[in-house]
Structure formats: C-alpha cells, structure tokens
Chain A
Amino acid sequence: MLADILQSLPQVLVDGIALGAIYAVIALGYTMVYGILELINFAHGEIFMTGAFIGVAMLILMTGMGWLAAMPAILALILVLVVTSILTGFMGVGIERMAYRPLRNSPKLITLISAIGVSFLLQDLVRFITEYKRGNYILTGPSMFNEQFSIKFSSISSSFSDAFFKTSTLILIIAVVIMMIGLDFFVNKTKWGMAMRAVAQDRETASLMSINVNKVISLTFFIGSALGGATGVLFAVQYGTIDPYIGFILGLKAFTAAVLGGIGNIRGAMAGGLMLGILEMFAAANLQLLTGGIFGAEYKDVFAFAILIVVLIFKPEGLFGKAVTEKV
C-alpha cells in the first residue's frame, strides 16, 4: 500500500500544488476583506468566475481577429491577465460601493446576505450574457500552452513514477508566486500597505491619524478582486472549460483555506490554500487504497474538510493566526 502511495506521490504533488495555488490566491481575496472589514465577501468566488469569463471572451475575440496567432502566446496571456484584473478590480470596488458600504454600520448578518445576493446576481448575469451570445453557458476557450513535460522522478528512485504536467501548469504556478510575493511586499513594505494594516487594526483610530478609510477599503477590494480575476483567467487556461457556477464550490474551498491558515492573515491564506489543494489531490488519488475500497475519490472533500475541522478544534485561530483578543 505504502509503495503504491509513494509511486503516485510526485504526480499528486504537481497537481495538488497547481490546484492549491488557485485556492491560495482566491483565499487571499477572502482574507484581505475579512481582515479589514470583518466581512465574509461571499461574492468573491463569483468575481473569480467573472474574471475567467472575461478572460476567455477576450481570448476568443483575439483568436477571431487573428491576433493570437500573430503574437507570442505568453504576451497575449499577459495582456489578457492585465486587462481582466483591472476590470474585475473595478468590479470589486463597485460591488463594495453599492452593496457593502451603505450597510457598513448595520448588523454583520445584513452585509452577509447582501454578499450572497450579489453572488447570485453575478452568476445569473454571466449565464444570461453567455447564453445570449453563444447559446450555451458552458464556455471553452482556445487551447494554449499544451506542451507536455515530465519530471523524471523515476531516475531518482524507482519507487517514484514520473510526474506529467503541461506548460500551463508551470505558468499558473509562476504567475501565482509572483502575485503572492507582490502582494506580500505591497502590504508589508509600502505606505498604502501600512495604511491597510492600520485600518485593519482599528478603523476609527486610523481615520483619526488622517488615513482615508474609504479609500483604503476600496483599494483592498480592488487588489483582492484583481487577483481573483487574474486567477480566473489562469484557471480557464489550465482547465479549458468554465461555467457560471465554478465560483461557488471553488470560493467555498478557498474560504475554507483562508480559515485554515487563519482568516485575516495573508501568509496564512497562501499556506492554507496550498495545503488544501495537495490534501484534496492526495485524497482523490489514494482514498480507495487507504480505506480498502470503502470510500472512493468522490469523498475527497469530506477527507479534506474533516482534517480542517480537526485543525480548527485544536487551533481555532487557524494554523498561522495569532490568538487576538481585541479584534476577530
């Protein structure tokens, strides 16, 4: 049994890191908004989904006009990523302005419901537009970065098998790492990052220190949503097909990853996302082996979430969270 698990481990790790990277960036969006507003922005999964649709629509449009064939694929992807993240960034700011800011002083439950409302609205809006344009709401983008690679783990030791992946996996992981490092630098090293941390700590005191709280909150939403939208594009390139309902399950899992790492903690969200992705992939590949055929791969989520519950029972503030008393 152990030999079998070892055999597939390299492949599980590669796929798990790719999926975990996606969870991690979406988790950032949840964690940033929670950290600053104590609001669980359930519409964030849908911003990710909308980003995926905008990206694919742009890629299809560019293919139609022959641009995709004319320029290097990586350049096209970067262009799409930048435009999509700007659009979804402004979308996030707009959502905050219209659905959350007016409710900022009302009970938390009200904003939560407002967030759920926004997420349904976005799902159906995207579905309506896609169905109107294409007759079908399942969208398949042009296929890019399909060159295959294999890492020869088997030459290290015969108990491992080779791991296969394609270029888009590599691009996904690199892009996510850049986004994470960039965000970490921004929050910890810049003036605006300091303002964000100050508002997260105490909104009223921060405003007394001549910090424009509304601007900082808008910025937080912009950055979180831009990252989410860009991840949507990367997701669409990696997995090929998207529909308006991808944001729900992925958003829920990313939210869980944020909780696992300690909600409000940016580095925690990154670690939580990666952990959840690898755990899920490991369960899907090995659950049948581990339980002697009683549970199959379809129970992977139960497995991952059971571990989450155990973690939270023993460390309720999350793996990397500090047990803060005055806030959270």
Chain B
Amino acid sequence: MGIKRGLKVLAVSALSLGLLAGCNSSGGSEGSNGGGGSGKVIKIATQTPLSGGSATLGESIKLGAQLALEENKKKFEDLGYKLQLQPYDDQADPKKGVANAQLIGSDKSILGVVGHLNSGVSIPSSEVYEKYKVPMVSPANTATEVTDRGLKTVNRIVARDDFQGPAGADFAINKLGAKKIFVIQDKTAYGTGLADAFKKAAEDAGAEILGYEGITVGEKDFNGVLTQVLSKKPDLVFFGGLYTEGGQLIRQARDKGIKIPFMGGDGMDSSTLVEIAGDAVTDVYYTSVAADASKTTEGKDFSSKYKEKFNKNVESYSAYGYDSMSVLLKGLEAAIEGSDGDLPAREKVAEEIRKIQDFQGVVTKVGFDDIGDNKFAKVYIYKFSEAKYPGVQEGEISK
C-alpha cells in the first residue's frame, strides 16, 4: 500500500513540475504572427532569449531589429516585397535554438536571421543555418569559434574575445598603470579564454602576474581566493567570468578591505552586477563589445526613436540588433537587384551580405572579412564611478 501511495506523490510532483515548465515556456512564444497577406512576402527571423534570465537583452535585440525592419518596409514595397519580422525565442538554450533553426530552415520565405545573444546557442544553430543556407548576422556573439569555422552564412558585427582580452590588458597597463596583476577566472570556456588572452597580453606588455586562480560557477563564498589577493597586494584584479560571480567577488573583496581596481570583460556588462555588488562596484572597469549609444548623435536619435516606439530605454545591444538588421537588409536589397526583382535565393543573399565593406550603422561601421568578422569592430572600456548602470565610457580601442 505504502508504495502505491508513494507513487501517487511522485506522480503529483512530476505533474506539477511539468506544469511549471509549461508556464515558463509559454511566456515567450509570441512569435507566430501568421504569415498571411498577398504578394511576395519576405520574412526575417530573430532568434534571441525572450524568456528566462537574459530576456531583457534578448528582447532589446529583437526590438532593435524590429525598428530597422519597419523603417525599411517602404523601400522593399517599392521593390515589390512585403517585409515581415518572425521572432523566435531560443531561451538561451542550445537545444531550443537548434530546434528553432530547423523551423527557420524549412520556412522558405525566411531569408535571414538576426541572432543570437549567446555564443553557445549560436554555434550549434548556425550549423543548421549553413545546411539550409540561411544567412545570419549576429549582434552579440564574441566567442572566436563562431566565425573560425569559416561558415559562409555566419557573420557578426561585434569584436571577438581574442581581441577583447588584450584590449583590456593594454588599458590596465598603459592607462591605469597596473604593474602587478592578479587574475581570477571562472573555469568556463568564456572566462578562461578571456582571462588567458588578458594574461598573455599583460605579460607581453611587462606586467607581473602575481596569481592565476580559478573559482567555481554557482559558489557563493570566494574568501579563500580573496585571502590570496590580500596577501599578495596586487595593483589590479582581473576577473574572467560573468556578472553573478563577478558581483559577489567584488563585494566580498571590498568587505575584506581590498580597495584596488577590478577589471572584467563583457560578461560583467549588466545592470545585475550593480545590483549584486551595490556600492562596492565603484572603481570597477569592464571591457565591452557594445558601444554606449548615447555618445553619438546618431545613437541619441536612435535612442529617442526606440523610446518613442516601444516606451522602453535602450539596452547595451538594442542598437546592435538595429545595425545587424540594417546590414542584413542591405545585403537582401543587393540580392533582389542582382536577380532582376525575382525572389533571390538564400545563397545569393548570404553572398551579398559577406560582400558588404563599408556600411555605417548607428553604433558601428560594418565591413566583413572573408570569415564574417567585422573589420571595424571595436572594444570599449567602461568604469563604474558610482553604483549606477551603465558605467562611464573611458576609452575605445580599434583593431
């Protein structure tokens, strides 16, 4: 009897778990606009996390892309096409991303993808895009492997990780005058890659690396590592990792009386970092591949248009979503002209996008090299001087 009742309990808990999972995923599937309408429809997909922990960033990319698409609608109507946005939610999950990519591949009216937010999702999904020859322009992926595979359809408009680390090292040594540096990383592909690139560049520039330590993602107590920092007395701590651990590390370091500057990569570029670290966040520097849109007049125009249309403030990647979509549509336009007004083949669109050499976007100039990296991509350095996100832009470094 006992077993039977136990099974009942198990079944009930399994069922409620399933319900919860259902609630989670239904939040983001607003994507099916219904592809009706007469004439020749061209759809452009976006694939970003619209639910879950990084939904804010994913949503901002989608909205940026949507703005660019709506501004170009008129131009394409003159060419005889109806443009449509088809948003997908990848939930920052590679499995979901690949499943969506299959749907995108089999929908013949989709001629391009703007996405993803996470390199980890982008890499497997782009294998599917390559198979169906759907061109992709990424607004946010920094992992070197995204373009290193040499896929014909994969492009990005932001800088690579192996550029960001050295750029940070250069700033730390030449601008901040750091001579003795302590490096901490979170043992993930992202954190280790960034920390290694930073360490190598810093050593080449003559700085002394006092320690190179690892922490574990998900841990909450980093006092052991920080005790080492305390006893070695460096000028600067570099952290390769994400904002959750970064924020706690900074907070616990300040509690220990470690008042030196901290530095991190774009993984620290989040308002949650400020929320976690609080006032401890002052004197923290981070490199980011995303420019501060409010620095330029084009950027300010963009921000006010965005605010007016969506009633939301721009996030770090909004303008990159916008620029990615603009680049993609420019390639599409060239492909339509090349095919005398007929619906162009996907290969043709991909080819035309790769050919773009001098496109001026809102935040970045775009020109692709032969593997799809942007030749004009820059790395930006920010500093928190108070507990307020985003930090103040301190400098920018181009290749």
Residues of A within 8 A of B (CB): 4, 7-8, 11-12, 15, 18-19, 98-99, 102-106, 110-111, 113-114, 117-118, 120-121, 124-125, 128, 131, 135-138, 140, 143, 146, 148, 150, 161, 164-166, 235, 239-243, 245-246, 249, 280-285, 288, 296-298, 300-301
For this complex, 18 residue pairs linking A to B, each with C-beta atoms less than 8 Å apart, are A11-B223, A18-B223, A19-B221, A98-B9, A102-B9, A138-B244, A143-B279, A148-B257, A165-B255, A240-B276, A246-B220, A284-B224, A284-B225, A285-B224, A296-B213, A297-B224, A298-B187, A298-B213
Task: State the CA gap A88–B221 with chains docked (Å).
Answer: 24
**A121: which B residues are within 8 A, CB to CB?**
13, 16-17
Question: In angstroms, how far is the closest chain B Cβ from the Cβ of A294?
Answer: 12
Q: Give min CB distance, A133 to chain B, whole Å.
A: 14
What CA separation (Å) do A181 and B14 show in the bound complex? 40
Q: Specify the chain B residue showing the minimal Cβ separation from A300.
A: B224
Please report the total number of B residues contacting A with Cβ < 8 Å. Answer: 49
- A12's partner among B3, B9, B187, B227 (CB-CB below 8 A) is B227
**Would you call B9 and A124 a contact (CB within 8 A)?**
no
B3 to chain A, nearest CB (A): 5
Cα distance, A106 to B220, chains bound together (Å) = 37
* A298 and B2 contacting across the interface, CB-CB below 8 Å: no
- Closest beta carbon of chain A to B384's beta carbon, Å: 16
Q: Which 8 A-B pairs have the closest CB atoms?
A: A284-B224, A298-B214, A15-B223, A106-B2, A103-B6, A285-B227, A102-B5, A285-B224
A288–B231 Cα distance when bound, in Å, is 14
Q: Which residue of B lies closest to A143 (CB)?
A: B278
Residue with the highest number of chain A CB atoms closer than 10 Å, among B2, B24, B56, B221: B221
Q: B30-56 CB contact bits vs A (8 Å, 1 = yes)?
A: 000000000000000000000011011
Closest to A102 in B: B5
Contact of A8 among B23, B230, B272, B275 (CB under 8 A): B230
Cα A165 to Cα B219 with chains together (Å): 19
Contact A298 B256 (CB under 8 A): no
CA distance A105 to B212 in the complex (A): 53
- A residues within 8 A CB of B5? 102-103
Chain B: residues with CB nearer than 8 A to chain A?
2-3, 5-6, 9-10, 13-14, 16-17, 20-21, 23-24, 52-53, 55-56, 187, 211-216, 218-221, 223-225, 227-228, 230-231, 244, 247-248, 251-252, 255-257, 272, 275-276, 278-279
Whether the Cβ atoms of B213 and A138 lie closer than 8 Å is no
Nearest CB in chain B: distance from A154 CB, A = 12
Residue of B whose beta carbon sits closest to that of A239:
B220
Q: How far is the CA of A166 from the CA of B223 in the complex (A)?
A: 13
Residues of A within 8 A of B215 (CB): 297-298
Which residues does chain A contribute within 8 Å of B272, judged by CB atoms?
Answer: 136, 138
A11-B256, A128-B20, A298-B214 given; name 14 further pairs at CB < 8 Å: A8-B230, A12-B227, A105-B2, A106-B2, A106-B3, A114-B10, A117-B9, A120-B17, A124-B17, A128-B24, A140-B278, A235-B220, A240-B276, A281-B227
Bound-state Cα–Cα, A276 to B248, Å: 22
Contact, CB under 8 Å: B248 / A241: yes
Assembly CA distance A102 to B4 (angstroms): 9
Q: Is the Cβ of B223 less than 8 Å from the Cβ of A281?
A: yes
Most buried by B among A131, A243, A245: A131
Contact present for A148 and B9 (CB under 8 Å): no
Which partner residue on chain A sits nearest B225 by CB separation? A297
Q: Shortest Cβ distance from B103 into chain A, in angstroms?
A: 26
Q: Are A148 and B278 CB-contacts (below 8 A) given A249-B218, A284-B224, A298-B187?
A: no
Chain B residues near A239: list those with CB within 8 A. Answer: 220-221, 248, 252
Query: How distant is the Cα of A117 from the Cα of B18 in the complex, in angstroms?
Result: 13
Contact B228 A281 (CB under 8 A): no
Please state if A241 and B276 are interface contacts (CB–CB under 8 Å).
Answer: yes
- Nearest chain A CB to B24 CB, angstrom units: 7
